[in-house]
Structure 1
Amino acid sequence: MEQAHIKLVDRLYKELLSGSLGIFAGAGFSQGAGYVNWKELLRPIAVDLDLDVDEETDLVALAQYHFTKHGENRNRLNHQLVEAFSKDAEPTENHRILARLPIATYWTTNYDRLIEKSLKDAHKVVDVKYCLDHLPITKYRRDAVVFKMHGDVEHPNDAVLTRDDCERYHLEMAPFIDALKGDLISKTLLFIGFSFTDPNLDYILSRVRVLYEKNRKQSECILRRVHRGNGESQERFEYRKRKQEFFERELVRYGLIVTHVNEYEEITDILRALESRYRRQSVFISGAAYDYGPFTAQEGELFVFELAKDLSRRDKRILSGFGLGVGSAVVAGVIEATVKAGHALNDDRLVVRPFPQAGPGEMALDELWSAYRADMLKRAGTAIFVFGDKLIDGEVVPSSGMREEFNLALKNGVFPIPVGRTGAMAKELWNEVIKRIDDGKMKVSPEIRELFEQLGDDARTLDEIRISILKLVALI
């Protein structure tokens, strides 16, 4: 990843943790899902006007020409919008990554519903606002609000399409402008998939710049570098490069930091890196112990307690399924660390999800447990596996649930840390990780390799093992 991309991830991560990161999505954000941009949306309209859409730069004016030509009847424009954005489409990976992150504010000029769908798929309560009547109403316990400042595909007659719509926007939709001004002043918005040719956005950004020129919040913008097209002359290419340079200076004047990508796929890499870094703050502790192996129950529980406490003191968010003999120690460790530090005990500190012990519904109990495990592992960046046995028909056997959680961790890109010293299933998983490292399937530094070795060393005390785990978590 380019150094500029790493720096962007650093800045976005800081804003994400502070709750100040928002998204502003343009048409390019939906193109990966198969939807059209403005030019393709209006291509049939241009044909009807005997114009070439590829020669036009003011697409809002093009829509206005069609509106005026047909006696200010926008039926054809509305039909074109509905036809273009009503087809079924699935959110892209970029949509899904952002939906999984704790981002509460979305702005978009898009008419489609991909942002809302991706948030709902992530089990979030979404408050969508595309008209003035929506602004004073707040959906109960919402996780995210989506401002669709140009309208919604299901209400084409109210959508912003023509120059008339744009010219009246600051009068008829002033509360939307005020809301966006507030977010531009107080939040860092990541502008993504945007061409910055929207006249309303230019209007808003310019006024924010004038009002808060000396003390405004900077936002972020990702732009694709100009590439020389097939058959394009060097002179024409140099001209487009100069034009982009001037355009970027304007964005800086508006308070935006520009980060370049060579290809749009690099945007996904940036968002993945942001999610990975955020998830690394969440540690899933997987464990169950009917028999603590070479240790007493008191020694095993104290080890888990101290480990959870130390992780929490390092501002790690702890996730736990409240496994037998382990769950109580995890909870107690986090609570003690939180209380002593004077913090509030909330979902930013601890998420405990005991497994249901009965399944009266349509799903079998093992299916419920699998879904439960998958949901928890998607929220973590690191998974620590300790002990791992259970009593079946009077016999102590390795935990199959821990094995499933390990497989889910690998599938979801969660970094696994099996503590072989604790025996049972954790020992089996530790042997597998060592083998994966030696086979090159899991690439780690020599320092991390050495720490993994220590986790399976039977000569080490549990206090020494705990210190090795903390070092590993810090390194990754």
Structure 2
Amino acid sequence: MGINTNKIPDKLVVDMVNGKVVPFIGAGFSRSFGYPGWMELLKELKNKIGIKDLDNKDFENEDPLQIAQAFFQFYKEKNRQTTLDDITTNLIFKQEKDNEELRGLVERAINKEVDILLEKNFSKKMLDLVKAKEERKDWPAIEKIKKLKNIPFHYLITTNYDKVIENQIYSDAGYGVLYPGKGIELDWNEHDKTVLKIHGDVETDQGIVFTHEQYYKFMQEYGFYRNKLYTLFSTNTILMIGYGFNDINIHHTYFQFIKDYSENLGHHKKMYMLLTDFDKKEKWKSYFEYYKKYLKSYNVEVIEYTDIPSFIEDLVHAFEEEKYSANINRLLTETGNENPLRPLKSILDGTGLNTTQINERVSLNIIKAMTKFFRNPYILTEQPFDLSIDEEGIDNNLAGHILNAALAIISEYPQIAEKEEYFLFVVVALKYATADDSWNSIYVRLVQVFPVMRQLKYEHEGSDDLKLGEYMYKIFSSSHPDKYLYGYDAGRFLNSNISLFPKIYIKAFLEYVKKLIIENELSNYPSISDYWIQQIREKFQTDDKIIELCEEIDSEVKKYLDIEENFFKLQKHDR
């Protein structure tokens, strides 16, 4: 299977290049290396501690922490007397009749020591099972996953006990390892690259988090890790790989973060979760679409992929491409009048672009550079520009300077509007227009971007058309000329100017809507898109391709509605 980076969100890739992503890695990540998953571990532990009256299939869909707690309680009840005998065998204590208080203190101390020892022994039995088995290793998958080392994350968080991350992926990369019970937290240098193992490490039973009881002890006694999680969540984009959102650590920490910062988050994505075909077909099944809605309600964007190794391979490729693309120095190596640096600085400071002093080649390089600015605004904070760019990205004023420069270039060299470089510039300009989905912002930015959109003369069908369609969909689906809770101004602007859009935008929008319906992502159809599709029919009725796309959408909608109707009929019949 070839590289496919179109499913990787642009913002995630840009954030990785800017060092703003923290991976959160769960048990699914280590399976290819031969390690057991949560349920496999629990099934093996069940046999090891002597549980014989429990069928595996009766607990495999339950909360792992709850099951582990139940197994621990069984283990304590079974082994308490033996452990107590081991502790008291060599204990010499003269029980004075009149020393009841002292005897009580000793008994409580012994019982506490018994509880500690039982927990340590239980954790050791579990950790003994955290071993890679040769027959479970998937070597082609391992080679793909190992490519993750090419992304130099500053922090990696994991709930895994194994040493896959530090020993098999980032070995010799200078990462330190922190886990509860290690006792070196206060001496830790925040600037060091770190693997944060919040559930503990396979080599020690200290600080292990496996049961509900241990989790709550973790939250109460290990404030450093609790606060570190909270800080990382609030200052970074989190990428969850091989990890279920049903883990209590994530619920407690992330939900609290959402509660505290919900007013400031707005449209910004702070967490991505990878879900694979296993999650869709085996784990969640018919609930999968509703599980995604649940995640969406907490500002979690789902990335769907066949499997973890394929995702990581594509993620690394996207990172390397973006890192190469974001490097503007290659455009600034020209000498003399061929160097675009001076005109770029004039654009950015608002002086404006004097197109009579630059040739077509320099103009094209300026378009390339401005594409990079929109795609990754943070490169403007570095030399040779040293601008201040906040988390919102490029503001309306700076965008206005860039867009005006593009119009000036097309006015001087209209042939550039036919080139792929200008098409890519328009795509990222549309991304800027949709970055803030508030009604007024979409209108203001749409009016800004529309003149450069109209100049596009490039006709091409490719992967970037999907992005073009996605951004057009965001604009249309947020706008309506007279419908409550939609952008009135943007809706009226679109209504007045829809026939002026080059057809490439309309086709891309329709293709994207069709894709959403086919993939069952537009389940609320008829939606606001229905209104705009009707407007498109009227304004482009002589364009065969556009009308054909509208009819294909009608056909897909009919299929969807027929399936829904049959489903409800079956439900009614069953009742």
TM-score (norm 2): 0.45
Structure 2 unaligned runs (5+)?
77-114, 328-332, 345-380, 388-459, 461-575
| CA deviations over 1:302-343 (Å, ceiling 9, x no partner) | xx9859x9699999xxxxxxxxxxxxxxxxxxxxxx998267
The residue aligned with 1:31 is 31
Q: Partners in 1 of 2:342 and 2:148 — Cα distance?
A: 28
- Does the Cα contact within 8 Å between 1:4 and 1:259 map onto a contact in 2? no
Q: CA deviation at 1:24?
A: 0.4
Any residues of structure 2 matched to 1:43-62 within 5 Å, and which?
43-47=43-47, 48-50=50-52, 51-56=54-59, 57-62=62-67
Q: Partners in 2 of 1:113 and 1:205 — Cα distance?
A: 25
| CA deviations over 1:51-88 (Å, ceiling 9, x no partner) | 22332112222222222222252424422323323779
Q: Partners in 2 of 1:22 and 1:228 — Cα distance?
A: 28
Instruction: Describe the shift of the 1:3–1:259 C-alpha distance in structure 2 as closer, same or farther (beyond 3 A).
Output: farther
The residue aligned with 2:200 is 151
The residue aligned with 1:105 is 155
Q: Partners in 2 of 1:77 and 1:12 — Cα distance?
A: 37
Q: CA deviation at 1:118?
A: 4.2
Q: CA deviation at 1:155?
A: 1.0
The residue aligned with 2:74 is 69
Q: Partners in 2 of 1:314 and 1:9 — Cα distance?
A: 32
Instruction: Describe the shift of the 1:112–1:136 C-alpha distance in structure 2 as closer, same or farther (beyond 3 A).
Output: same
Q: What is the identity, as a one-letter code, of the residue corresponding to 2:186?
A: P
Q: Partners in 2 of 1:196 and 1:2 — Cα distance?
A: 29
Q: Partners in 1 of 2:36 and 2:162 — Cα distance?
A: 10
The residue aligned with 1:138 is 188
| CA deviations over 1:206-232 (Å, ceiling 9, x no partner) | 111111112235211110145556xxx
The residue aligned with 1:114 is 164
The residue aligned with 1:320 is none
The residue aligned with 1:172 is 221
Q: What is the identity, as a one-letter code, of the residue corresponding to 1:195?
A: G
Secondary structure at the counterpart of residue 11 of structure 2: helix
Instruction: Describe the shift of the 1:67–1:212 C-alpha distance in structure 2 as closer, same or farther (beyond 3 A).
Output: same
Instruction: Describe the shift of the 1:176–1:341 C-alpha distance in structure 2 as closer, same or farther (beyond 3 A).
Output: same
For the pair 1:189 / 2:217, whether they are aligned, the reply is no
Determine which structure has the larger strand proportion and give its number.
Answer: 1
| CA deviations over 1:260-280 (Å, ceiling 9, x no partner) | 123444313422322431453
Q: Partners in 2 of 1:154 and 1:39 — Cα distance?
A: 21
Q: Partners in 2 of 1:340 and 1:213 — Cα distance?
A: 34
Determine which structure has the larger helix proportion and give its number.
Answer: 2
Q: CA deviation at 1:198?
A: 1.5
For the pair 1:254 / 2:298, whether they are aligned, the reply is yes
Secondary structure at the counterpart of residue 213 of structure 1: helix
Any residues of structure 2 matched to 1:314-329 within 5 Å, and which?
none
Q: Partners in 1 of 2:258 and 2:159 — Cα distance?
A: 20
Q: What is the identity, as a one-letter code, of the residue corresponding to 1:35?
A: Y
Q: Partners in 1 of 2:173 and 2:343 — Cα distance?
A: 28
Secondary structure at the counterpart of residue 160 of structure 2: coil
| CA deviations over 1:231-275 (Å, ceiling 9, x no partner) | xxxxxx9xx434223322232233211111234443134223224
- Does the Cα contact within 8 Å between 1:86 and 1:153 map onto a contact in 2? no
- Does the Cα contact within 8 Å between 1:110 and 1:148 map onto a contact in 2? yes
Instruction: Describe the shift of the 1:220–1:140 C-alpha distance in structure 2 as closer, same or farther (beyond 3 A).
Output: closer
| CA deviations over 1:331-386 (Å, ceiling 9, x no partner) | xxxxxxx9982679xxxxxxxxxxxxxxxxxxxxxxxxxxxxxxxxxxxxxxxxxx
Correspondence for 1:341 among 366, 377, 384: 384
Q: Partners in 2 of 1:204 and 1:117 — Cα distance?
A: 28
Instruction: Describe the shift of the 1:124–1:310 C-alpha distance in structure 2 as closer, same or farther (beyond 3 A).
Output: farther
The residue aligned with 1:163 is 212
Correspondence for 1:219 among 262, 268, 271: 271
Instruction: Describe the shift of the 1:42–1:252 C-alpha distance in structure 2 as closer, same or farther (beyond 3 A).
Output: same
The residue aligned with 1:234 is none
Q: What is the identity, as a one-letter code, of the residue corresponding to 1:68?
A: Q
Q: What is the identity, as a one-letter code, of the residue corresponding to 1:29?
A: F
The residue aligned with 1:373 is none
The residue aligned with 1:82 is 128
Q: CA deviation at 1:120?
A: 4.2
Q: Partners in 1 of 2:11 and 2:383 — Cα distance?
A: 30
Q: Partners in 2 of 1:228 and 1:145 — Cα distance?
A: 35
Q: Partners in 2 of 1:111 and 1:311 — Cα distance?
A: 52
Instruction: Describe the shift of the 1:254–1:70 C-alpha distance in structure 2 as closer, same or farther (beyond 3 A).
Output: same
- Does the Cα contact within 8 Å between 1:111 and 1:153 map onto a contact in 2? yes
Q: Partners in 1 of 2:276 and 2:242 — Cα distance?
A: 9
For the pair 1:272 / 2:275, whether they are aligned, the reply is no
* Cα RMSD, aligned residues only: 4.0
The residue aligned with 2:91 is none
- Does the Cα contact within 8 Å between 2:5 and 2:317 map onto a contact in 1? no
Q: Partners in 2 of 1:312 and 1:99 — Cα distance?
A: 34
Q: CA deviation at 1:160?
A: 0.5
Q: Partners in 2 of 1:49 and 1:168 — Cα distance?
A: 26
Structure 1 unaligned runs (5+)?
230-236, 284-303, 316-337, 345-444, 446-476
**More displaced stretch, 76-85 vs 110-119:** 76-85
Q: What is the identity, as a one-letter code, of the residue corresponding to 1:82?
A: D
Instruction: Describe the shift of the 1:55–1:127 C-alpha distance in structure 2 as closer, same or farther (beyond 3 A).
Output: same
Q: What is the identity, as a one-letter code, of the residue corresponding to 2:30?
A: S
> Percent of pairs identical after alignment?
23
**More displaced stretch, 164-173 vs 18-27:** 164-173
Q: Partners in 2 of 1:262 and 1:197 — Cα distance?
A: 21
TM-score (norm 1): 0.53
**More displaced stretch, 264-273 vs 10-19:** 264-273
- Does the Cα contact within 8 Å between 2:200 and 2:207 map onto a contact in 1? yes
- Rg larger for: 2
Q: Partners in 2 of 1:314 and 1:269 — Cα distance?
A: 38
Instruction: Describe the shift of the 1:113–1:172 C-alpha distance in structure 2 as closer, same or farther (beyond 3 A).
Output: same
Q: Paired residues, what number?
A: 293
Q: Partners in 2 of 1:278 and 1:41 — Cα distance?
A: 39
Q: What is the identity, as a one-letter code, of the residue corresponding to 1:11?
A: K
- Does the Cα contact within 8 Å between 1:23 and 1:107 map onto a contact in 2? yes
